[in-house]
């Protein structure tokens, strides 16, 4: 557990999506080691239980539980949020980490959205909206949303958000990760405007070795397959970093007293592939507030989740 020293998180309740593997698992582990109570929000609860046991093996004092959450189904997102809302405990940290990458052929979610856009962006948009009252009641609440350096190649195509006319795996992934970055920034602006009291920022892990590089590209192929381009770069010394290092920008965004709302964090070495947490560069499209506002309105329409236009009632705090 080297690298960025996570400040004491005792008394804080955190939800980490996709916490059964990769960046999500390491983020949850480090938060638990710092004293936070964790909800591992995962699509496969069997894998979630395995991840929980893994965390407890290295952090015997860990306080955590596994909850089912399938971000590709809006009904599952609503059910997850309903369970937490019924419990009524304020939420201090939400890490929107889960994602799918570079699916070779076009797949759709249960609600008919292109899988990468629907899972990476719309699922987290809906989740954050449902959990907003619990977050507003939290202690200095934060929302950290994972993006990717790939967002630099993305463009929000409002005429074909679901890639129905033309599907290319990397193009769809880049659009989804640009969307998550636009969402994080717009969430901060709306929190400031409406008095939600949130700190919303974003992060990317750089080139971190996780199952993300093989899970998405293997979908629908019946076998696990890592794309040739990734296998090729795996042979370049210093190009990739281990998952514990890749989790550092997320942990910094989630816990550092110096992290700010609307900022984007990633590794500090050349091209943002490896290194320690630092402010990362956003693309010009990621800084387009008009696109961010339009995407927000469209996301509300598509998900049916409307965020409040005025401060949350005191009862929700």
Catalytic residue numbers, as ranges: 173
Q: What is the DSSP letter of 154?
A: -
CA atoms within 13 A on the CB side of 254: 33
Strand, helix or coil for residue 278: strand
Q: Is 38 within 8 Å of 64 (Cβ atoms)?
A: yes
Tokens of 262: 């609307």
**Pairing mode, if any, of strands 13-17 and 93-96?**
parallel
Distance, in Å, from the CA atom of 204 to the CA atom of 316, rounded to the nearest integer, reads 31
Angle made by CA atoms 180, 27, 10, in degrees to the nearest 5: 115
Collect all residues with Cβ–Cβ distance below 8 Å to 47 and sequence separation of at least 6.
20, 21
Tokens of 282: 């956003």
Distance, in Å, from the CA atom of 132 to the CA atom of 122, rounded to the nearest integer, reads 15
Q: Is 173 within 8 Å of 116 (Cβ atoms)?
A: yes
Q: CA of 206: how far to CAs of 41, 127, 269, 287, in Å?
A: 23, 25, 9, 20
Tokens of 24: 């999500």
């Amino acid at each position: 557990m080297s690298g960025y020293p996570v400040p004491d998180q005792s008394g804080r309740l955190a939800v980490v999506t996709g916490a059964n593997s990769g960046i999500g698992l390491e983020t949850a582990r480090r938060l638990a080691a710092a004293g936070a109570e964790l909800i591992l929000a995962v699509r496969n609860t069997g894998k979630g239980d395995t991840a929980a046991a893994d965390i407890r093996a290295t952090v015997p004092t860990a306080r955590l539980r596994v909850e089912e959450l399938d971000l590709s189904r809006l009904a599952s997102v609503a059910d997850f949020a309903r369970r937490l809302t019924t419990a009524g405990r304020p939420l201090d940290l939400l890490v929107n980490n889960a994602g799918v990458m570079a699916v070779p052929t076009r797949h759709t979610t249960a609600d008919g959205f292109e899988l990468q856009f629907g899972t990476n962006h719309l699922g987290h948009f809906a989740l954050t909206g449902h959990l907003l009252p619990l977050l507003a009641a939290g202690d200095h609440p934060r929302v950290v949303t994972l993006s990717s350096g790939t967002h630099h190649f993305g463009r929000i195509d409002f005429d074909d958000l679901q890639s129905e006319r033309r599907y290319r795996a990397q193009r769809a992934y880049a659009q989804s990760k640009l969307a998550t970055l636009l969402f994080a920034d717009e969430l901060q602006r709306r929190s400031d405007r409406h008095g939600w009291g949130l700190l919303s920022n974003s992060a990317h892990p750089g080139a971190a070795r996780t199952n993300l590089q093989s899970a998405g590209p293997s979908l629908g192929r019946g076998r696990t397959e890592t794309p040739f381009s990734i296998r090729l770069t795996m042979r370049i010394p210093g190009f990739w970093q281990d998952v514990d290092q890749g989790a550092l920008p997320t942990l910094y965004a989630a816990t550092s007293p110096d992290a700010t709302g609307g900022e984007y964090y990633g590794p500090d070495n050349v091209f943002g592939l490896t290194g320690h947490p630092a402010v990362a560069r956003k693309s010009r499209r990621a800084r387009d507030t008009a696109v961010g506002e339009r995407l927000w309105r469209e996301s509300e329409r598509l998900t049916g989740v409307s965020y409040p236009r005025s401060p949350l009632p005191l009862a929700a705090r």
